[in-house]
C-alpha cells in the first residue's frame, strides 16, 4: 500500500471510530434521559406521553446503530454495487 492509500484508510477508520463513539454516547444519553422522562410522566399525569420520545429516539438509535456497524437492510453494499453498475452502463451518465 502506498502512503495516500494508507492515509485514506486511516481517515476512514478514524471517521468510523468517531461514528461509533457518537452512537455509544447517544445510547448512554438515551439510557439516562428516558427513565427521567418516564419518572416525570409518572409523577405528573396518567397519560403515558413518555412513550413517544422513547419510541422516536429509540427508532433513531437503532437506525444509527445499524448504519454505524455497516448493516443496512434497505441500501446495503450489494444494492450500492448494483446501482453503480447500472449507472456506469448508461451512456449519457
pLDDT value at residue 17:
93
Cβ–Cβ under 8 Å, residues 51 and 86: no
Q: What b/e readout covers 39-49, taking b as 16+ CB neighbours within 10 angstroms?
A: eebeeeeeeee
pLDDT value at residue 29:
98
Q: Residue 43: which domain range?
A: 3-89
pTM over 0.75: no
With a cut of 70, list the residues of the chain below it in pLDDT. Answer: 1, 93
pLDDT value at residue 78:
76
Number of domains composing the chain: 1
Amino acid at each position: 500500500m502506498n502512503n495516500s492509500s494508507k492515509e485514506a484508510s486511516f481517515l476512514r477508520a478514524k471517521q468510523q471510530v468517531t461514528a461509533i463513539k457518537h452512537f455509544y454516547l447517544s445510547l448512554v444519553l438515551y439510557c439516562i434521559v428516558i427513565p427521567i422522562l418516564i419518572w416525570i410522566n409518572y409523577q405528573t399525569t396518567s397519560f403515558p406521553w413518555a412513550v413517544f420520545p422513547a419510541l422516536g429516539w429509540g427508532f433513531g438509535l437503532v437506525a444509527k446503530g445499524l448504519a454505524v456497524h455497516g448493516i443496512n437492510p434497505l441500501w446495503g453494499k450489494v444494492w450500492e454495487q448494483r446501482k453503480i453498475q447500472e449507472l456506469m452502463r448508461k451512456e449519457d451518465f
